[in-house]
A and B are shown apart, each in its own frame.
Chain A
Amino acid sequence: MPDHSTALAHQFDDLEQQHESVSLGMWIFLATEIMFFGGMFLGYSVYRGIYPAAYGEASRHLDVVLGAVNTGVLLSSSLTMALAVQAAQLGGRRTLVLFLIATIALGSVFLGIKGLEYYHKYEEQLIPGSNFHFDGPNAGHAQLFFSFYFVMTGMHALHMIVGIGVMVVLILLTLKGRFSAGYHFPVEISGLYWHFVDIVWVFLFPLLYLVDRS
């Protein structure tokens, strides 16, 4: 993170070097995130390979309509984020703030719908643990599916909450007049992060909701 009191931090020679360093740092951070989610994707895939029938059956208990709506909401938030970055590049503070607010709003809608889905799962007794209830011979394997469903979507939601926090900070900084057409890379790298979180969902949606819906 750059020093906000003066745009150029003391260890760098010029803004260009600082900009390159910060964005390389963000890309490396995203690489670590891929490995982090990768562990869960691996676990999911291994069990999916061993128990395809149970995974299909469990997956049909997810609400594909809400999932699809949420996918649309999240992709729209990526669009508003991209527009926010463009506004920052052009130096338009007002539009930047508006697009950041739009991104926060869409992100919150996503989290709200996700919460609704979690509540449905709670009512249907599909939350893994002692209250888990699933009819049929595949109950154990289905519980594995739901463990991964909750861990993966939960981790994803956690990343979105962090992202929304970052947006709030960006709005405050914009209102203080910290960004200009010449200095806006905090907006850019926050955008990278937000797009990454979206892309994770783009993989989660088909794997969890559409895995056996033919």
Chain B
Amino acid sequence: MSSETIRLYREHYLNCSYGVRSWLLTKDHKRIALLFLISITLFFFLGGAFAVLIRLELLTPQGDLVESETYNKLFTMHGIIMIFFFLIPSIPTVLGNFLLPMMIGARDLAFPRLNLLSWYIFSLGGLFTLGAVISGGVDTGWTFYTPYSSTYANTHVIATAVGIFITGFSSILTGLNFIVTTHKMRAPGLTWFRLPLFVWSNYATALIMVLGTPVIAITLLLVGIERGFHVGIFDPKLGGDPLLFQHLFWFYSHPAVYIMILPGMGVISELVTCFSRKRIFGYEFVAFASLAIAVLGFLVWGHHMFVSGQSPYAGMIFSFLSFLVAIPSAVKVFNWTATLYKGSISFDAPMLYALGFIGLFTVGGLTGLFLATLAVDVHVTDTYFVVAHFHYIMVGGMVMAYLGGIHFWWPKISGKLYPETWARFAALVVFVGFNLTFFPQFILGYLGMPRRYHAYPPEFQVLNVMSTAGASILAVGYLLPMAYLVWSMRYGKAATDNPWDATGLEWQTPSPPPTENFADTPVVTWEAYDYGAKEDKEKEPQVA
């Protein structure tokens, strides 16, 4: 450990070079992670702005704030931006990029240039989509269902589809990089079953990215070709099958749900162990549950199509398979809970997010079982029940995990401590705001309020007002970390190398880490989450 004076003048990845060029041409995975952090933060607040407008419109039963056409564009662009430009890239490209090489004791990802290219491709796709948004937007819903998207819609479908098509390659390159890195770059002694679970879950995510994303790419390309050249591919007038589009679309877009949640689960495994000071309960089960979710995720897409007219036998099989996904998901929840049991728990901000995640993910997951049940799904299809369900997973789950992770690793990323009191307060605000926003939507949906309408019967107003009130609290909860994390970069207290006293190789480098991550390649001789042992005796020097 270096002394405080040396620490102050030490060279690290943030101060090793200055200037725009040194960032835009960087091949350092840590700098690329920060580039992604900036990009997706912008998209998060843009998507959030659309959500604000949606909630404001729904404050009253009449469609008084925006026209129905504008409303269609609002929910479409909210969905497209949040899914393709925030949720899918969020944890893998920011925390995954930053942490994966350090967690496995490597100097960088296997392909640093591809990694930088991935950010450029992401930005290019983002600019295309932004261009479409600025020039008038798109109104097909984020699902682009044909023949509406291919024939009838008068909005910027092609530009948006091209944007998503391009961004898909960013996802593919990130996934490819993660898989190769995890296979080939692990430090000596770091066997698969000594890997942090964050690595396992990002590996499972990468598999989906690599195998699923090309399918959405070709599907959107086909829609674009059909629309641009007026050739029939899904066109029912020529005998084409719009259901084929739905199958292809959901073949990616259901697994994409697991792209959005698996990395979050990885973060939670890290947080729960660290703040319970315990090794995770059933390491192997949690690790394999990630892979099981990734594999099963490819077999359940038809549950989005229960009322589409697909064969009822297909519906039954998809229903059964969807129930199977609940098993590995429940394994994770039970194992996190078992890890808490008799742990010495401390309620720092990251842990508050983690505990919030466990509760909200459980609600989201269990309501998923309602939707996987054929008969119940017919009742609640395309209602706010579905909206509430997936927001419990995506926002209650993934965004909580993302924020928890950002707080947990902030000292490593920035070298500064965030203000703990503010952070705990913000975590509570997010939790309260989230539940107030989305719990009423379960009731609204169950009572029959359909999604995607800008007006509704007056008897639904009370619950909608609650939801809008919650959304404004939630917005405060998201703006707070934005403000104090930026503040802490300048005014925060300097962080020590391992402020949480956590295991994991990333905490054995200085904060912020040097460009090469480790002075010498570490040799790993211990299991992951060695918390019990760590409390017993000081570890021997870990660098060979």
Q: Is B229 an interface residue (CB 8 A)?
A: yes
Residues of A within 8 A of B217 (CB): 36
Using Cβ atoms and an 8 Å threshold, which residues of chain B touch A37?
218
CB-defined contacts of B230 to chain A, threshold 8 Å: 128-130
Whether the Cβ atoms of A151 and B225 lie closer than 8 Å is yes
Q: Is the CB of A51 within 8 A of B239?
A: yes
Does B214 interact with chain A (Cβ within 8 Å)?
A: yes
Interface SS of chain A: helix, strand, loop or mixed? helix
| A28-B210, A130-B230, A143-B232 known; A39+B241 contact, CB < 8 A | no
In this complex, which of B215, B218, B241 has the most chain A Cβ atoms within 10 angstroms of its Cβ?
B218
Q: List CB contacts (< 8 Å) of B187-239 with chain A.
A: 210-215, 217-219, 222, 225-226, 229-233, 237-239
Q: What residues of A have a CB within 8 angstroms of the CB of B233 in the complex?
A: 43, 144, 147-148, 151
A28 partner residues in chain B, CB cutoff 8 A: 175-176, 179-180, 210
Smallest Cβ-Cβ distance to A40: which chain B residue: B218
| With contact pairs A11-B109, A31-B210, A39-B215 given, residues A24 and B184 touching in the complex (Cβ less than 8 Å) | yes
Q: How many residues of A contact B (CB 8 A)?
A: 41
CB distance from A128 to the nearest CB of B (A): 4
Tell me the complex Cα distance, A148–B232, Å: 9
Check B282 for interface membership: any CB of A closer than 8 A: no
CB distance from A135 to the nearest CB of B (A): 16
Report yes or no: B111 in contact with A1, Cβ–Cβ below 8 A. Answer: yes
B179 pairs with A36, CB closer than 8 A: no
Of A13-21, A68-76, A98-106, A179-187, which binds chain B? A13-21
- Contacting residue for B231 out of A9, A10, A31, A128, CB 8 A: A128
Residue of A nearest to B233 (CB): A147
- Interface of chain B: mostly helix, strand, loop or mixed: helix
- The residue that B215 contacts in the complex, of A1, A35, A54, with Cβ under 8 A, is A35
Residues in B neighbouring A147, C-beta threshold 8 A: 225-226, 231-233
Give CA–CA (A128, B239) in the complex, Å. Answer: 14
Would A43 and B222 be within 8 Å (CB), given that A21-B185, A32-B176 are in contact?
yes
Of the listed residues B108, B231, B248, B521, the one surrounded by the most CB atoms of chain A closer than 10 A to its CB is B231
Known contacts A11-B112, A43-B233, A128-B231; decide if A144 and B240 are in contact (CB<8 Å).
Answer: yes
Q: Which of A33-78 contact B (CB under 8 A)?
A: 33, 35-40, 42-43, 46-47, 50-51, 54
Task: Supply 12 further A-B pairs (C-beta < 8 A) apart from A11-B109, A24-B184.
Answer: A1-B111, A11-B108, A20-B184, A21-B183, A28-B179, A33-B214, A38-B214, A39-B222, A50-B241, A128-B229, A140-B237, A143-B238
User: Can you sample 29 A-B contacts with CB below 8 Å?
Assistant: A1-B113, A11-B107, A17-B184, A17-B185, A21-B183, A21-B184, A24-B179, A24-B183, A28-B176, A28-B179, A28-B180, A31-B210, A31-B211, A32-B176, A32-B210, A36-B214, A42-B244, A43-B244, A47-B241, A51-B239, A54-B239, A128-B229, A128-B232, A129-B229, A130-B230, A140-B238, A147-B232, A147-B233, A151-B222
